[in-house]
Structure 1
Amino acid sequence: MSDSSGWGPAGPYGGPPGGWGWVPAPPPPKPGVIPLAPLGVDTVFGGAFATMRRYARPLFGLAALVHLAVAVLVLAAAAVAYAATSGHLHTIYDTPRHPRWADFRPVLLAFGAVWAFAVVGMTVAGAFVQASCAATLHDAVLGRRATLGQIWRRTWPRTPSVLGVTLLLGLILAIPMLLFAAVFVSFFLAVVGFGSDLPYGVLFLLMLAVVPLTVWLCVLFCFAPAAAVLEAARPVQALRRSARLMRGAWWRTFGIMLLGGLTAVVVSLVIRLPLMFAMPGPRPYDASSPPAADAAGVYAQSLPHSVAYLALSVVGSLVTQVFTMVFLPLISSLLYLDQRIRREGLAEVLLRVSGSVHE
């Protein structure tokens, strides 16, 4: 199967009968990382870890490459911003006169543009990684091999759709946040104007309503990236598809996604803590070369340790970020497949396709 658009609904999946209960039914077929049957929590997490293990090169390779590309572009933009505003920076930090707004404005504009560019780059990179996870899972459930180039060619055309899903979901989530901000400003003005303590209690109740609403929306549309890739759906269609598949399955999806988030936190701590303990300690005191008293000497003495700390921090942050960005989309994509198996008989389609692949 050349693309993912053929994963249409079929009849409900049913295993062979087990007789009068004395003969157990055979296990469902498992051509890839998951059995072609409704998935439990153990099979969802097992499928995610199996996919990361068997398809580590396309999954983590593409995620690392896209993050490296964004980092290089952001550093290049920061270098351009620094070169363009070096005169103003010299005026701000190295001249005795008090700097004026005309000195700060170009610096703020230049590095504000770098920050905006970094946000856009990370958003596009996140959408690409989500799309690559769903594209890799397309091959993983069928048990067929996938190279980095194949996943790239399948991922890149669907990245704009996943990016559209991300932006639309951001706008949807911004609505309750903006309402909360408007009410907060109104209550603040009321407190300043009238000196009443009542708005604080109302504001707390409003916050208690906004947070569950935001969580509900995030879970409701968490299947949209997988639908955008595996069904070639447009952003709005993918959001609607996610909402339809989520009917009756919100609490189960929320619980498994929460467990996945906790797992990502634990794995991140397991990776970060050894790096923190591996950092070199301060250099022992040497009477022949006492520590420098001036700021330049202290900076020169602490520079090697600072560089080592920065390098370890960057490595730890990159590893944990790549793992989280791969692991959580795999969990949501597996839950998306689980809902389609339960409701649309996707297992029969996958079984036929996997049979044709291995023939």
Structure 2
Amino acid sequence: MDTVFGGAFVTMRRYAKPLFGLALLVNLALAVLVAAAAAVAYVAVSDHLHAIQDTPRDPRWADFRPVLLAFGGVWLFAAVGLTAASAFVQASCAATLHDAVLGRRATLRQIWRRTWPRTPSVLCVTLLLGLILMIPLLLFVATIVSLFLAMVLGSDLAYGVFFLLMLTALPLAAWLWVLFGFAPAAAVLETARPVEALRRSVRLVRGAWWRTFGITLLGGLTTLVLSLVIRLPLTFMTPSPRPYDPSSPTAPDAADALAQSLPHAGAYLALSVAGSLVTQLFTMVFLPLISALLYIDQRIRREGLADVLLRAAQSSGASGSVHE
């Protein structure tokens, strides 16, 4: 565990530019695209928005429907974009780690060129894993339904079904997530196709599930602690706005009260966005690094990958591929 966590932090320190630089560029590009999509959606349905807000009559479904479709499309576009961005960052982490274990320098341009061709494979792995995880998700939905029926009907049988489904859905989701967790690294470092990457992950995790689960869980807890360390001080540092009482004779106008609170709100918003960005970048880079390091560690333990890496590092003209 110390080797994996230490390797992740050392890699982030020595290869900060390609790791965090690419993650930052991808997130900024996604933010610009989503903002542009939202602006287009707003312009497209602005008449309907004005009809909803300014018309004295009750809004009609004919006004709501275009607005819901437009901004629902923006949300869908953002979700797809975030999935693709996460796949790209996962691929870039594995590609950077390839040079890190060989002791080579890696520039942002080199990692970009190596990452881009493998991103579709990692994206397909992510989508396939999402489909696989639909099984525990459906069980979880059934759990919620059984709890609702238990509360409405007061049936002991419904409560029993709720606890049974809960005990099944969560462990199954965790088991599947860990079982296929090495697939993105295999898709990049072995140039494996999506289905083959999933199979490779199953073969490598078999017999080491609990170790993989424990280290992955600690990685998730680490990101949670970092998020709390960043967000809690911001929460306590935010000044509480003075209560606004319009009936008081000394109370300022509503516009003046809003203007007085804007500087504090603007500063808090800027700090909050900066903190969220730092947390997002750390999470996007740290967790894939942990997974890729566990993948390499398992291959070293089972397949003698250390000898291959040593020969590749000592060979001045070798490509250093880890899929030998």
- Normalised by the size of structure 2, how large is the TM-score? 0.90
Structure 1 residue aligned with 2:60: 100
Residues 281, 305 of structure 1: 8 Å contact kept: no
Q: Which structure 2 residues correspond to residues 224-263 of structure 1 after superposition, within 5 A?
A: 224-263=183-222
Q: Take 2:54 and 2:257, find their aligned partners in 1: how far apart are those partners? A: 20
Residues 135, 155 of structure 1: 8 Å contact kept: yes
Residues 142, 165 of structure 2: 8 Å contact kept: no
Structure 2 residue aligned with 1:305: 264
Q: Is 1:214 paired with 2:173? A: yes
Structure 2 residue aligned with 1:351: 310
C-alpha displacement of 1:186: 6.9
Q: Is 1:89 paired with 2:49? A: yes
Structure 2 residue aligned with 1:202: 161
Residues 127, 159 of structure 1: 8 Å contact kept: yes
Moved more, 299-308 or 253-262: 299-308
C-alpha displacement of 1:71: 0.4
Structure 2 residue aligned with 1:29: none
Residues 136-163 of structure 1 show CA distances to partners (whole Å, capped at 9, x for unaligned) of 0000001010000000000010000000
Q: Give structure 2 stretches of 5+ with no counterpart.
A: 243-249, 319-324
3-state SS, counterpart of residue 97 of structure 1: coil
Amino acid corresponding to residue 108 of structure 1 in structure 2: L
Q: How many residues align?
A: 313
Q: Take 2:236 and 2:113, find their aligned partners in 1: how far apart are those partners? A: 41
Q: Take 2:234 and 2:139, find their aligned partners in 1: how far apart are those partners? A: 42
Q: Take 1:258 and 1:239, find their aligned partners in 2: how far apart are those partners? A: 20
Q: Take 2:108 and 2:69, find their aligned partners in 1: how far apart are those partners? A: 39
Residues 279, 312 of structure 1: 8 Å contact kept: no
Residues 178, 209 of structure 2: 8 Å contact kept: yes
Amino acid corresponding to residue 224 of structure 1 in structure 2: A
Structure 2 residue aligned with 1:21: none
Residues 161, 235 of structure 1: 8 Å contact kept: yes
Q: Take 2:151 and 2:20, find their aligned partners in 1: how far apart are those partners? A: 51
C-alpha displacement of 1:237: 0.5
Q: Give structure 1 stretches of 5+ with no counterpart.
A: 1-40, 284-289
Q: Take 1:118 and 1:310, find their aligned partners in 2: how far apart are those partners? A: 21
C-alpha displacement of 1:184: 5.0
C-alpha displacement of 1:301: 2.2
Structure 2 residue aligned with 1:11: none
Q: Take 1:300 and 1:151, find their aligned partners in 2: how far apart are those partners? A: 47
Structure 2 residue aligned with 1:45: 5
Structure 2 residue aligned with 1:76: 36
3-state SS, counterpart of residue 315 of structure 2: helix
RCO higher in structure (CA 8 A, sep ≥6): 1
Q: Which structure 2 residues correspond to residues 12-161 of structure 1 after superposition, within 5 A?
A: 41-161=1-121
Identity %: 77
Q: Take 1:71 and 1:187, find their aligned partners in 2: how far apart are those partners? A: 38
**Which of 233, 240, 264 is matched with 2:223 structurally?**
264
RMSD: 2.3
When residues 183 and 43 of structure 1 are mapped into structure 2, their CA distance, relative to the original with a 3 A threshold, is closer
Structure 2 residue aligned with 1:328: 287
Residues 158, 228 of structure 1: 8 Å contact kept: yes
When residues 203 and 306 of structure 1 are mapped into structure 2, their CA distance, relative to the original with a 3 A threshold, is same
Residues 45, 66 of structure 2: 8 Å contact kept: yes
C-alpha displacement of 1:183: 6.4
When residues 78 and 252 of structure 1 are mapped into structure 2, their CA distance, relative to the original with a 3 A threshold, is same
When residues 291 and 309 of structure 1 are mapped into structure 2, their CA distance, relative to the original with a 3 A threshold, is farther
